A and B are shown apart, each in its own frame.
Chain A
Amino acid sequence: MPTTTKAFLIIAARHGIDPSDLEAVQQWFCEDLPNLPIEQVEEILEELLVYEPNGEDVSEARYYPKGVPLPSLEESPVASTPLFAATPWKELFRALFIKLRGGKER
Chain B
Amino acid sequence: MFFRRMRGVRFVNRAPTKSGQYLTLRITPMTVPHVLWWHSHVQPIIDRDPSRVDRDWNWLLYVSFATVASGLLARQPAAYTVAIVANEKGAIIPCALVQLMGRFPALDNHSKTGAFVWFLSTAPDEALTSISEYPISDDRVPKRLGRIALDVAITHSLNERRNGRVALYADEKGGEALVDWYRRCGMEVLSPNIRLPRVPRRLFKPSDGRYCYFSPRKAIEASRALDSLR
- Using a CB–CB cutoff of 8 Å, the interface residues on chain A facing chain B are 1-5, 8, 22, 25-26, 29-30, 33-34, 38, 41-42, 45-46, 49-52, 58-60, 62, 64-79, 81-82, 84-87
Task: Write the nearest CB–CB distance from B74 to chain A, whole angstroms.
Answer: 6
A-B contact pairs, 22 of them (CB 8 A): A1-B169, A2-B53, A2-B118, A4-B56, A5-B56, A8-B61, A29-B60, A38-B72, A45-B65, A49-B101, A50-B205, A60-B58, A64-B39, A67-B40, A69-B37, A69-B91, A70-B91, A70-B93, A71-B81, A72-B90, A76-B34, A78-B13
Residues of A within 8 A of B69 (CB): 34, 38, 41
Q: Are B28 and A76 in contact (CB under 8 A)?
A: yes
A77 to B11, CA, bound (A): 13
Residues of B within 8 A of A52 (CB): 204-205
Q: Are B68 and A34 in contact (CB under 8 A)?
A: yes
Q: Are B168 and A30 in contact (CB under 8 A)?
A: no
Q: Are B47 and A5 in contact (CB under 8 A)?
A: no
Residues of A within 8 A of B44 (CB): 62, 64
Q: Are A60 and B56 in contact (CB under 8 A)?
A: yes
Residue among A42, A51, A52, A79 with most chain B CB within 10 A: A79
Task: Give which listed residue, B9, B26, B134, B155, contacts A70 with CB less than 8 A.
Answer: B134
Residue among B61, B93, B94, B168 with most chain A CB within 10 A: B61
Residues of A within 8 A of B1 (CB): none
Residues of A within 8 A of B91 (CB): 69-73
9 further A-B contacts with Cβ under 8 Å, apart from A45-B75, A77-B29, A79-B29, are A1-B118, A30-B64, A64-B40, A64-B43, A65-B36, A65-B40, A71-B92, A72-B33, A85-B8
Assess A78 versus B26: contact at CB under 8 Å? Given A3-B118, A68-B37.
Answer: yes
Residue among A8, A30, A52, A74 with most chain B CB within 10 A: A30
Interface residues of chain A: helix, strand, loop or mixed (majority): loop
Assess A33 versus B68: contact at CB under 8 Å? Given A72-B33, A77-B28, A82-B8.
Answer: yes
Assess A1 versus B168: contact at CB under 8 Å? Given A79-B28, A85-B10.
Answer: yes
Q: Are A42 and B74 in contact (CB under 8 A)?
A: yes
Residues of A within 8 A of B184 (CB): none
Contact with A along B40-84 (1 / 0, CB 8 A): 110110010000011011101111110111001111010011010
